[in-house]
Amino acid sequence: MNNSNSAEGGISGERKILDPCTIAIFGASGDLTARKLIPALYHLFKEKLMPASFRVVGFARREKNDESWRTELRTALDQFSRTKPVDDVVWTAFAANLFYCQGDLTDAAAYQKMEVLLTSFGSKPLRENLLFYLAISPSQFGEVVEQVHNAKLLNREGPGWQRVVVEKPFGRDLASAHQLNRELTRYAHEQQVFRIDHYLGKETVQNILMFRFSNSIFERLWNRESVDHVQITVSEKLGVGERGGYYEESGALRDMVQNHMLQVLSLIAMEPPVSLEAEAVRDEKVKLLKSIRHLTPTDVAKQIVRGQYFAGAVDGQPRPGYRQETKVNPSSNVETFAALKLFIDNWRWSGVPFYLRTGKNLPMSASEVRIQFRPTPNVLFAAKCGDGLQPNALTLRLQPNEGISLRFNGKVPGMSLGVRPVRMHFSYDSEFGAYTPEAYERLLLEAIAGDATLFIRRDEVETAWQIVDSIRAGWDGKPLTNREFYSAGTWGPIAADDLLAQLGHAWHEPLVVK
């Protein structure tokens, strides 16, 4: 693909013609802009995937001009670009499209100044086709949406198109998510709101649907008849570090489960959509989330485990306990680990447990989905080989070293009847070896194209919060127990192992692929 104003679409892969547009970044002086957004736009430009004509306008309170902002971004790009060194010729051409608008988010005059700047570009599409990226606190979303509407920059019915991209967290519970969504849709249609979860931009997460629905040998096994249980692991080697204040407000449940993990679960378990159109895919994800069995406080006590790390070591390096981290309450009960056993009450998955776990200060950083199939009947080889004959398992590795592995049993060479699990492994790097875009590159491109498939719809957000709120209600007022603490550098609390042992299952460590 080499066309400068078209790109391959998200899941459907259809070629899309990209309209000339302006991308307005609110929070232009922030970390997200420097680390992710500008590097992503630079790489899209370098790959000739941006529209033929575009502008990027940074909006922030600090005193800067176009040149000083460009210089600042070039310094950041030298540090955060995924390709080094930065191409000076490409950067010069790209930087000519970067402009800065100084102003306070609450100042109506600043938005009028932005409108004048957009008009000065001398092109109707650059003035009317606008992508507003709110790289700011969610508490400021409503203010900005109202201000850009009042400045006649955001309209429900055009002219041109306008879209609003917002980052998580999408609220901190169902009530706040309702309020946030009301603020966002007060001056914009739901179809104009693009809620970004960078996890959905990862290549392998997108490949889940391709793998499931384009391979008949696996598609027909993807149900309760063949699957014994499913494990989804998102482990992080780092502790909370400098994010103690944020983590005290969020915890693992809000930080990872409500968004990333439930999104992956929905893609793994959803029914096939009627098409690859955005709404068809998102309809099935919502149906799946609504099929997750409601959790009462009694269910939470039996099916959900939380944990918190105490001082230990990761790779031989000492790590402080969570309660000793900066800006953390010394008697905090906030969870740094969560494990869930969920059931999906629909025809395909009835009775199949889905285990989810995520945590900080675990032995490795990895994300994977493991589909464990039912064991063979206890006759023939199962009866003769005992525990040596292990159930088949399919592992989708989301990061790092993206790939897919299938485990099956093989006979050990020799005169005796020895058995050993063996693997067939597919690796993206070794098979394709080509450029793989960063998540933000793909998601920004899809937002420019107006494809919402990889973004989260309002009812997805609110359904996920209903699940999380029921868990928090079950934990309310209950302190952590001794079985819920774990040493940094281990795979979590004993209570998480107990959770799986209830049905004779055990956690599997993420697959190490070299």
Cα–Cα dist 253/508, whole Å: 21
Helix 203-214 with 262-269: angle, nearest 10 deg: 20
Residue 480 CB-density burial (10 A; 0-12 exposed, 13-18 middle, 19+ buried): middle
How far CA 112 is from CA of 109, 282, 296, 468, in Å, comes to: 5, 36, 51, 41
**Alpha carbon distance, N-terminus to C-terminus of the chain:** 31
- Backbone phi, psi, residue 301, to 5°: -60, -30
Burial of 351 (0-12, 13-18, 19+ CB in 10 A): exposed
Element (H, E) at 268: helix 262-269
- Which listed residue (260, 425, 505, 508) is catalytic? 260
Q: How far, in Å, are 80, 131, 142, 162, 166 from residue 126 at the CA level? A: 28, 10, 24, 11, 21
Neighbours of 369 (CB within 10 A): 24
Quote the CA–CA distance of 198 and 444 in Å, as a whole number.
10
Q: From CA 160, how far away is CA 412, in angstroms rounded? A: 66
Total residues belonging to the chain = 514
At position 271, the amino acid (one-letter code) is: E
The 10 Å CB-count burial string (b at 16+, else e) for 388-423 is ebebbbbbbbbbebbbbbebebeeeeeeeeebeeee
Q: In Å, how far are 344, 407, 509 from 395, measured between CA atoms?
A: 20, 8, 11
What does the alpha-carbon distance between residue 264 and residue 199 come to, in Å, rounded to a whole number?
9
Give the separation between CA 26 and CA 107, rounded to whole angstroms.
13
Place of tokens 């092109």: 123
- Is 260 noted as a catalytic residue in this protein? yes
> What letter would DSSP give residue 292?
B
Neighbours of 176 (CB within 10 A): 15
Nearest in space to 355 (alpha carbons), one of 421, 305, 296:
305
Q: Name the residue among 514, 222, 285, 231 with its Cα closest to residue 395.
A: 231
Residues classed as catalytic: 260
